[in-house]
Amino acid sequence: MIGPRRMMMALAFPLALSGCVTGADYSRNEAGFISVANKTASVEAKETVWIQNQNQARSAGAQVKSLLARTKPLDVETAVQIALLNNKGLQAGYADLGDSAADAWQSTMFINPTVSIGTTGIGTPELQAFKTIEGMITTNILALATKSRDVAIADTRFRQAQLTAAVRTLQVAADTRRAWIGAVAAWENVGQLQSAQATADAASELAAKLGETGAMTKGAQAREHVFVAEIAGETAKARLAARLAKEELTRLMGLWGSELDYQVPNSLPPLPKSVAKRDTIEAEALRNRIDLQVAKLELEATARSYGLTEATRYVTDLEILTGFETEREIEDDEKKTRTTPQVELEFAIPIFDTGKARMRKAEVAYMRAANLLAEKAVNVRSEARSAYEAYRSNYDIARHYRNNVVPLRAKVEEESLLTYNGMITNTFELLTDTRDKINSILLSVNAKRDFWLAEANLAPAIYGGGATNASAETEVAAASGSGGGGGH
């Protein structure tokens, strides 16, 4: 006999304690994602999905194809919705949420006890006359004592993971919005350059005919021809920049294969009649920025970890061993059996390591988290102010180009053409005025693009998920500086 009753009682000890804690909230496949979807919907008013099986993948794919088929050309809101449904990097980010849920679920479970059974007296008849059977169950009672703290820390990390997933979702939405603006502005530049090239081609052809009659010198003809060649080069550069900008949008939307046959508009929307006033944008950002909430939870989790370290400063492992020892003797052909229960307590004596180093490390971690939170709060206020300042100023700049610079350049070219027809202005002056008008139009397009980018950055400044795509934004701005039109 091995004493099954005592064995079962010892095993039931940690299991009975674990019965009061449940991991049901963490064990669901979409644990925590509803919170992510709700936060995203409150900012972007878009649907988000966490794809975890083939049926969900097929459903999302069909939805993407439907959006592409019925929205031609592709508008910005549809592009953002497609990205939220189809961006694979975002789906990988949601897997981190699943990892955190699994960790939180694991924290609700106690460490499995260790069972050991041994015997002596196997072998010769002399040894079998005196046989001892030992059984022992070991469990870490310190883990039982700190269970509630461990669960609280894991739950804080889980809530932090939910907010981080929401930030990633908003970041994909913001990046897609900016990429759409960059792509459309680039194609608008191509269209403007193509119009200029048509005018330059006509002027070059006229110059060639005048040269044949001797009415135009070879130098004047060369000026006409080089202008056409330069416009052609600028148009080619602008078309390349537009294609690259569209590829950036394609990557964010996760499209490939037949899905690449989509088009974006030829021009950005006109400027609004007025700009929105954000007198309390700093307060809005402090109240709503999700990444600031993540930093607060980081401080909370660090504080809880600090408390756990303090509670286990001297003793990090405390184990209780329960079991039995059964002895069997054979004397005068009579078997005698005696079972003795055993209880042992095992822990490390803090002679050399008193926990001071671990306490210091926990203190430093807490101070780091506190300072990072303070820095984040300062940065959030500054980013909100900067975003509104860029929004307001870029609107004024774009409106100035639209209302003043471009009309004046058009008037100058018109007057120059009249004087040219009256043989008062020479060809070189007319070409200069035409070139200046083209440059002003391109600057106006870029100013309008900068305004819409600034408008797209307002929501991330208030809710989070922006300002991490600065390099890509710079590339789009540089690319759109040259120019884009048909076949996109």
pLDDT digits 0-9 by tens, 143-173: 666 677 778 888 888 888 999 999 999 999 9
Residue pointed to by tokens 């050991």: 116
The CA distance from 215 to 232, in Å, is 26
Residue pointed to by tokens 């961006």: 87
> CB under 8 Å, gap of 24 or more: what pairs does 156-159 form?
156/297, 156/300, 156/301, 156/304, 157/100, 157/103, 157/104, 157/297, 157/301, 158/26, 158/32, 158/100, 158/101, 158/103, 158/104, 159/32, 159/297
Q: Mean of the per-residue pLDDT values for the chain?
A: 77
Dihedrals φ, ψ of 49, to 5°? -135, 150
Calculate mean pLDDT across residues 17-40. 68
Please report which confidence band the pLDDT of residue 366 belongs to, taking 50, 70 and 90 as the band edges: confident
Query: What is the tens place of the pLDDT at every residue in 367-390?
Result: 888 899 899 999 999 999 999 999
3-class DSSP state for residue 481?
coil
* Burial class of residue 270 (count of CB atoms within 10 Å of its CB; 0-12, 13-18, 19+): exposed
Task: Pinpoint the alpha helices (H) of 264-405.
Answer: 281-288, 290-311, 356-400
Structure-token pair, residue 387: 């975003």
Structure-token pair, residue 276: 């929105």
Given CA atoms 440, 442, 445, 446 in this order, what sign does their dihedral have?
A: negative
DSSP structure class, residue 425: S
> CB under 8 Å, gap of 24 or more: what pairs does 248-253 form?
248/179, 248/182, 248/183, 248/472, 248/475, 248/476, 249/79, 249/176, 249/179, 249/180, 249/182, 249/183, 252/83, 252/87, 252/172, 252/175, 252/176, 252/179, 253/79, 253/82, 253/83, 253/86, 253/87, 253/176
Count CB-CB contacts under 10 A for residue 130. 13
Please report which confidence band the pLDDT of residue 353 belongs to, taking 50, 70 and 90 as the band edges: low
Give pLDDT, residue 118: 67
Residue 474 has pLDDT above 60, yes or no: no
CB 388, CB 278: distance < 8 Å: yes
Query: What is the tens place of the pLDDT at every residue in 432-472?
Result: 777 788 888 889 999 999 999 999 999 999 998 875 443 33
CB 285, CB 466: distance < 8 Å: no
Structure-token pair, residue 377: 């709060």
Residue 266 has pLDDT above 80, yes or no: yes
Give pLDDT, residue 10: 35
**Dihedral of the alpha carbons of 147, 151, 152, 153, in degrees to the nearest 10:** 100
The CA distance from 419 to 432, in Å, is 14
Structure-token pair, residue 332: 């005068």
Please report which confidence band the pLDDT of residue 246 belongs to, taking 50, 70 and 90 as the band edges: very high
**How many residues in total does the chain contain?**
488
Return the amino acid letter for 129. A
Give pLDDT, residue 343: 64
